[in-house]
């Protein structure tokens, strides 16, 4: 099973349904911000956040990283953690 | 029909029976934002209660993917459709008609499932799902079938979905109870848990038809209906494991994402929750108002509350959780220090937490949330059991554990 290719017409395959994207909303940006804020509020240090996106273990965040690039993710991290915001201990 | 007060709807409504005498009510809060659909809760329940012949399709606890999924399939869309057909265009809320205690979300001006039923052969509007709908929970849903070595080769989604965790809501006004022609369904005074007396049940399936959440299920091998029993031996503290103290259910204590908190709240004769400011459930539902009932418009006054997923389009969420969604998400997105601390109590202990205290900790940094700079603190939440003894102490800052060497494989997170 693990070696078989994805077949789009297989009803048991991964077919998560998306919500309609609202006009003018960047869904990647919204979701990346949700993930980062959720972890930041739990005191996760800034330098660990990027790994959440770089690691292939996390398919959702990694999809954003692959699609939009590191600079895109870093800009959101920068917005939440700084420059005026201090590093979380 | 009796008139009962449904505070979630902000009004009185018709129900088959007078208000019950439950002094305490089983209740829970699920934080949808943190669920990863690992199904550990599902398996904890399955391996405890529904592993016998005839229970193969029975999942008292399930986690489904929204907007598409459902167990049974499309259960909520089907009920919403029946209600809309019974009262076309009338299923609306008046969010301005509010009262902090008796109508916190506004007033529902539509009809409940009890009010659209004909009251002869149906006590509540509903349907019996065909067998196919119970099969293959999570079919077509978010189930990754393989592990990739490089990049992401699964179909990508630029839009987003969420997971909905579901058990019996142990409703204050259960539709299953109202529908039973044998009076086999009853609600316990001591904790509000709703049970089916297997001796009285004859498997007429009126409860299966009436429960809008579809949490009553038919078992062909015994020809009776069964449902989630709220792990009552644990809740009442008679399970030997509990050592006499009330303990959370199996699904709650198994949650690895720490998204669940369950306990007991005090209920007055008027059906309203008695003020119990330091009970974490009371705080989350009645004070912080971050957690909302699922489809309150059905009218059963369900007792499982959800912190709505903050990334999902609001019109969808308003239909699912009522007009309290915007305030709930605002309170969750930029939580108070107290809310942040109480969220840490989720699944922090197996025992039921009856009260909590927050001990203020040092400021550890600043973040910009929602365009505003906010300070963050490493506060400590302390939970107490039914006898007022400390049972858990957790800090807001989650410890980060990085495994080294061989253990680092696939398990290192961030």
Neighbours of B5 (CB within 10 A): 18
Query: What is the pLDDT of chain B when averaged over all its residues?
Result: 91
> What are the sequence ranges of the domains in chain A?
27-81
Length of chain B: 414
Q: List Cβ<8 Å contacts ≥24 apart for B149-157.
A: B150/A56, B151/A56, B151/A66, B152/A56, B152/A59, B152/A62, B152/A63, B152/A66, B153/A6, B154/A6, B154/A14, B154/A59, B155/A6, B155/A8, B155/A14, B155/A15, B155/A16, B156/A63, B156/A67, B157/A16, B157/A18, B157/A63
Kindly report, residue by residue over B251-278, the tens digit of the pLDDT.
999 999 999 999 999 999 888 999 999 9
Whether B377 and B362 have beta carbons less than 8 Å apart is answered as yes
Kindly report, residue by residue over B228-253, the tens digit of the pLDDT.
999 999 999 998 888 899 999 999 99
The span from the CA of B383 to the CA of B354, in Å, is: 7
Phi, then psi, of A78 in degrees rounded to 5? -60, -40
Beta bridge partners of B63: B165
Chain B hits for A26, Cβ within 8 Å: none
Q: Is the ipTM of this complex over 0.85?
A: no
**Residue appearing with tokens 């198994």:** B254
The span from the CA of B155 to the CA of A24, in Å, is: 23
The span from the CA of B333 to the CA of B311, in Å, is: 10
Tell me how close the Cα of B361 comes to any Cα of chain A, in angstroms. 13
Query: Can you give the pLDDT at residue B161?
Result: 83
Q: Percentage of chain B with pLDDT > 70? A: 92
The span from the CA of B12 to the CA of B5, in Å, is: 4
Chain A hits for B414, Cβ within 8 Å: 39, 44, 48-49, 51-52, 55
- Domains in chain B, CATH or no CATH each: 2-150+157-343 (3.30.70.20)
Two tokens at A65?
Answer: 């990283």
Task: State the pTM of this model.
Answer: 0.90
Q: Is the pLDDT of residue B348 over 80?
A: yes
Is B314 in the A-facing interface, judged by CB distances under 8 Å? no
The span from the CA of B22 to the CA of B271, in Å, is: 9
Is A89 in the B-facing interface, judged by CB distances under 8 Å? yes
Chain B hits for A31, Cβ within 8 Å: 160, 311
Lowest mean pLDDT among A32-36, A67-71, B202-206, B242-246: B242-246
Is A80 in the B-facing interface, judged by CB distances under 8 Å? yes
Query: Can you give the pLDDT at residue B299?
Result: 98
A residues 37..66 contacting B (CB < 8 A): 37-45, 48-49, 51-52, 55-57, 59, 62-63, 66
Chain B hits for A38, Cβ within 8 Å: 33-34
């Amino acid at each position: 099973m693990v070696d078989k290719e994805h077949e789009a017409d297989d009803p048991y395959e991964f077919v998560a349904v998306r919500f309609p994207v609202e006009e003018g909303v960047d869904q990647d940006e919204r979701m990346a911000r949700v993930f980062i804020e959720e972890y930041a509020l739990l005191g996760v240090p800034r330098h660990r956040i990027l790994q959440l996106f770089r690691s292939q273990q996390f398919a959702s965040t990694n999809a954003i990283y692959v699609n939009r690039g590191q600079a895109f993710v870093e800009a959101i991290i920068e917005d939440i953690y700084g420059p005026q915001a201090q590093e979380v201990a | 029909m009796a008139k009962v007060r449904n505070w979630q709807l902000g009004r009185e409504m018709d129900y088959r029976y007078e208000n019950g005498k439950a002094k305490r009510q089983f209740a829970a809060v699920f934080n949808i934002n943190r669920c990863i659909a690992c199904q550990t809760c599902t398996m904890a329940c399955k391996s405890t209660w529904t592993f016998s012949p005839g229970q193969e399709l029975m999942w008292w606890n399930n986690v489904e993917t929204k907007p598409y999924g459902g167990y049974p399939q499309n259960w909520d869309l089907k009920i919403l459709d029946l209600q809309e057909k019974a009262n076309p265009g009338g299923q609306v809320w008046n969010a301005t008609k509010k009262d902090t205690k008796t109508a916190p979300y506004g007033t529902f001006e539509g009809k409940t499932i009890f009010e659209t039923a004909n009251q002869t052969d149906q006590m509540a509007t509903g349907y019996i799902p065909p067998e196919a709908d119970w099969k293959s929970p999570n079919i077509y849903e978010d189930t990754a079938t393989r592990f990739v070595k490089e990049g992401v080769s699964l179909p990508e989604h630029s839009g987003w979905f969420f997971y909905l965790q579901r058990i019996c809501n142990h409703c204050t006004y259960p539709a299953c109870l109202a529908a039973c022609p044998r009076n086999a369904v009853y609600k316990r005074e001591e904790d509000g848990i709703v049970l089916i007396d297997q001796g009285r049940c004859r498997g007429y399936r009126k409860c299966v038809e009436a429960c809008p959440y579809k949490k009553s299920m038919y078992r062909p091998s015994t020809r009776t209906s069964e449902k989630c029993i709220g792990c009552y031996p644990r809740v009442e503290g008679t399970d030997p494991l509990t050592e006499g103290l009330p303990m959370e259910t199996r699904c709650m204590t198994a949650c690895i994402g720490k998204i669940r908190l369950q306990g007991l709240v005090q209920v007055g004769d008027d059906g309203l929750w008695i003020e119990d400011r330091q009970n974490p459930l009371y705080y989350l539902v009645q004070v912080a108002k971050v957690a909302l009932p699922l489809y309150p418009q059905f009218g059963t006054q369900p007792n499982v509350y959800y912190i709505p997923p903050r990334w999902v389009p609001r019109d969808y969420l308003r239909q699912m959780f009522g007009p309290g969604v915007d305030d709930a998400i605002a309170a969750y997105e930029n939580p108070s220090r107290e809310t942040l601390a109480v969220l840490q109590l989720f699944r922090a202990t197996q025992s039921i937490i009856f009260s909590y205290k927050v001990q203020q900790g040092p400021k550890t940094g600043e973040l910009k949330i929602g365009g505003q700079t906010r300070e963050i603190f490493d506060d400590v939440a302390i939970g107490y059991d039914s006898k007022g003894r400390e049972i858990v102490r957790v800090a807001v800052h989650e410890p980060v554990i990085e495994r080294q060497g061989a253990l680092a494989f696939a398990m290192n997170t961030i």
